[in-house]
Structure 1
């Protein structure tokens, strides 16, 4: 008599749970946490899911009950900047940064740009300068290294461009004074919920390039006092400038905490790091918004961008507007608005 051996059956007692949502331009994979042994592992599947979908990871959001993996099905388009015969006018307060990003200074005031040599920082600042002028903004330029931006005094006016410590202090003083005068006027002509544009004011932009170089110039008692005065004015603009329409763009190669405190940094609504950076370098720019996984930064002018209020919890890959400097004459463009 033959005895049949009973085959052992395997049962799946638990497994990782996933769901997904697909839109026209992206797909979101939801890794659902159930408190079992898989819950930790499913939050570290960036590489595996990217390989499975053959798509680059746009954003990962780790929530208490679910981990979201966001993937672009179609990459946003980089903005290509071309020269126009006539001067353009932008009646809006918003600025198109390309790659699917529209910047609204009134909602997210002030800009921080970090980037080393060859990152495309100077070209991007030049693009923003033109965009500010298209809005009929008043622009002040601070360039302590007296490089390309400093030379723009020939077109914008010497009273609005500063390269020496005393002139930098003068320019910041002017911007702060204008801010206070606007507040005085708006308080006398109070409109609930209004801002500068409701009172007929145009934006004021202070472009401060290489802030670290300026702070390093404080080597004695007198120069340190000037640096202190300037930084106090910058602090006032960062904290109070939004409603009066006075904004600041701060640029530096490395945004160390000695250059700008983390409290002030977190009040800069738009933060950009161009070119490759170290993990510490990204943290100095983005703080808690630094992404866990840094995407490859290979295209010149590309980097990471974080904009407060955009719905993104961490900085995203982004490509700055492309300017073909062989065929785009910046000075000719600038003259149209000066």
Structure 2
């Protein structure tokens, strides 16, 4: 027993003595192995690449990543730098700073992690299988030799990417992160940016469409301008014969003044198309009345048809004596329309009237006019003047800018203008329809003023400018020119209605773009009343028979001495002086060519027809306002008579008798039965069925 215990004790001491020997031998083995590892590391060291081995085995899920073994003999120095925020984008927030985490952000992140974990489970299982196969291959196959060039290229690419990121960070440029999960706030910002870009693109497209529309409109206006070859060419006239005649007349005038012992001299002469004006300058102390009293003597000595004195000429210290030319030269419209005075104004209502005594073209604007009165005897040139105004408007304005309402009781003067696109309605030749057309113009004026009040504008030009700015081109309003060729016929049929309509239009219609031109050959007081004269400021007077008619038109004498054939006196709105003008001539052939060309440009768009106006007049004249009330009263009373209606409605016998006759024609009451009341033939139910 003691022997066994001793053996165990000895055996324990022997194990203790063996263990330190094994430790010593293991230390030696470790030293030798460490020495060998140092030698191999020195053999495979690469400079400036963080001392990492070239061959790096692929990372597996099961194996833990080992830290790179640093060389103890390398010259790397450990630099202790303070902590700085890196510019590497966050996988969740990108480059945006992470704010204080709230409950809302935690819930959002938890939901995002759950969704990502579910989607990544399949990918992780695939990666584990692939890594396991690669480990088996690495255990079986020997390691492949390292590729030096590819790793070197890869390291250079990594350096370049780092340098670019550092340079972008230094310059402050934004780095767009890749594979970043967007938060709802980022999605909202991105949606707003996309909305802004889409809105900008839409605005640019709208501007482009507007520019195209404006260019199309300007091109259409330019291309739709009438050519001048539709008018007759102006012939050439010899000037030498006219100058000889002017010199002879000036010498004769000087001799006449000398014979009557008037100290005055002929200073100059101005030759016009049909009249030559001689300027006489009296010496100091000579009365103007002496020269004016010699008008008949001067007319006798010059052998002139008629002379007209202008004493003195406005703006000069001379007296003008107007003598008709020996040979009158006509003024053609083509020359007037080709002049700069007609083409330069931008107003679509520019009108060429003719040439003055000096031969200069006279142009006026209907906006400044704004209403005109044209009067003169038969054959003096009124209708030609109206045709000149209409042709000028056709050349100057497009059919979308200016509309015409033509009233022609003569039935022959304005009919060539039928079916042109400028007309609001066909040329009205019936007198009753003309009265209704003037009432329609009054209603149109009221409607336009209501639109002006709604849009807070004052006149038609401002209204159209506002519509163009708002791209509401279809709401633009055109100018409306109303032409009445013969006012005397309208005043004979319904003077009160015509006068009221003309006065209302003349008083208010200027600002809403409605202009009125009235022509008459009988300028008497019953035709041109005081209200019409007060509201129509512009006057054009042709030759009249008496001085009284001249005073009716112009409030002064002078029109009785005109020559006719387009010779006119023009008094513009706001100017007290009268201009003598030779009106431009337009032949019937020219009007036919122009209207035929205009009809091909566009189709007419009539707002109403003449037959509709006539039916409206007939219906309004036939049906009495009290007719419906009279029928109700008769049905309630169960009897009808003229005296009963007189007492009930306080009307005259004639009107009551007309109401009874209308009821009899409609079958509501019976015929006359002596002195008894008429019987009722219909009840309330049948009457409602009849009118329904």
TM-score normalised by L of structure 2: 0.37
Q: How far apart are residue 20 of structure 1 and its match?
A: 9.1
| Residue from 217, 239, 247 that aligns with 2:515 | 247
Q: How far apart are residue 247 of structure 1 and its match?
A: 0.9
Native 8 Å contact 2:559 2:569 kept in 1: no
Whole-angstrom CA distance in 2 between matches of 1:308 and 1:262 = 18
Taking the TM superposition and a 5 Å limit, the aligned residue runs for 1:1-338 are: 29=280, 31=282, 38=287, 40-46=289-295, 60-61=310-311, 69-70=319-320, 78-81=331-334, 91-92=346-347, 93-99=349-355, 100-133=361-394, 134-135=396-397, 136-150=401-415, 152-155=417-420, 159-190=425-456, 195-200=459-464, 201-218=477-494, 227-275=495-543, 277-288=545-556, 290-291=557-558, 294-297=561-564, 300=565, 302-309=566-573, 311=575, 313-314=577-578, 316=580, 318-326=581-589, 329=592, 330-335=594-599, 336=601
- C-alpha change, 1:127 and 1:309, in structure 2 (3 Å) is closer
Who wins on radius of gyration, i.e. which is larger? 2
Native 8 Å contact 1:204 1:245 kept in 2: yes
Note the alpha carbon deviations across 1:178-237, whole angstroms, 9 max, x for none: 22233333344445xx6322322442111112111122224xxxxxxxx42232111111
- C-alpha change, 1:29 and 1:269, in structure 2 (3 Å) is farther
Q: How far apart are residue 294 of structure 1 and its match?
A: 2.0
Whole-angstrom CA distance in 2 between matches of 1:166 and 1:304 = 32
Whole-angstrom CA distance in 1 between matches of 2:263 and 2:459 = 48
Whole-angstrom CA distance in 1 between matches of 2:450 and 2:282 = 53
Q: How far apart are residue 39 of structure 1 and its match?
A: 5.5
Whole-angstrom CA distance in 2 between matches of 1:159 and 1:187 = 27
- C-alpha change, 1:21 and 1:181, in structure 2 (3 Å) is farther
Counterpart secondary structure, 1:170: helix
Native 8 Å contact 1:81 1:322 kept in 2: no
Counterpart secondary structure, 1:243: coil
- C-alpha change, 1:28 and 1:198, in structure 2 (3 Å) is farther
| Richer in strand (by share) | 1
Native 8 Å contact 2:374 2:539 kept in 1: yes
- Structure 1: segments with no counterpart, 5+ residues: 1-14, 219-226
Whole-angstrom CA distance in 1 between matches of 2:500 and 2:266 = 49
Q: How far apart are residue 315 of structure 1 and its match?
A: 5.5
Native 8 Å contact 2:350 2:365 kept in 1: yes
Counterpart secondary structure, 1:322: coil
Whole-angstrom CA distance in 2 between matches of 1:23 and 1:310 = 29
Q: Which has the higher contact order (CA 8 A, sep 6+)?
A: 1
Q: Which region of structure 1 is more displaced relative to structure 2, 306-315 or 66-75?
A: 66-75
Native 8 Å contact 2:445 2:512 kept in 1: yes
Note the alpha carbon deviations across 1:109-162, whole angstroms, 9 max, x for none: 112222444333323322322333442311111123333425744446683532
Counterpart secondary structure, 2:504: helix
Native 8 Å contact 2:404 2:480 kept in 1: yes
Whole-angstrom CA distance in 2 between matches of 1:155 and 1:163 = 17
Q: Aligned residue for 1:222?
A: none
Native 8 Å contact 2:265 2:280 kept in 1: yes
Whole-angstrom CA distance in 1 between matches of 2:559 and 2:520 = 23
- C-alpha change, 1:308 and 1:126, in structure 2 (3 Å) is closer
Whole-angstrom CA distance in 2 between matches of 1:43 and 1:180 = 51
- C-alpha change, 1:155 and 1:62, in structure 2 (3 Å) is same
Note the alpha carbon deviations across 1:67-116, whole angstroms, 9 max, x for none: 8523689999824348x9xxx99842321212132112222211222244
Q: Which region of structure 1 is more displaced relative to structure 2, 17-26 or 202-211?
A: 17-26
Native 8 Å contact 2:544 2:550 kept in 1: no
Q: Which region of structure 1 is more displaced relative to structure 2, 269-278 or 258-267?
A: 269-278
- C-alpha change, 1:242 and 1:228, in structure 2 (3 Å) is same
Note the alpha carbon deviations across 1:262-318, whole angstroms, 9 max, x for none: 342254333223355333332232223x32882433xx3x222222247552452x2
Native 8 Å contact 1:60 1:67 kept in 2: no
Q: Aligned residue for 2:25?
A: none
- Structure 2: segments with no counterpart, 5+ residues: 1-260, 272-276, 356-360, 465-476, 605-692
- C-alpha change, 1:39 and 1:321, in structure 2 (3 Å) is closer
Q: What is the aligned-residue RMSD (CA, Å)?
A: 4.2
| Richer in helix (by share) | 2
- C-alpha change, 1:170 and 1:263, in structure 2 (3 Å) is closer
Whole-angstrom CA distance in 2 between matches of 1:22 and 1:247 = 41
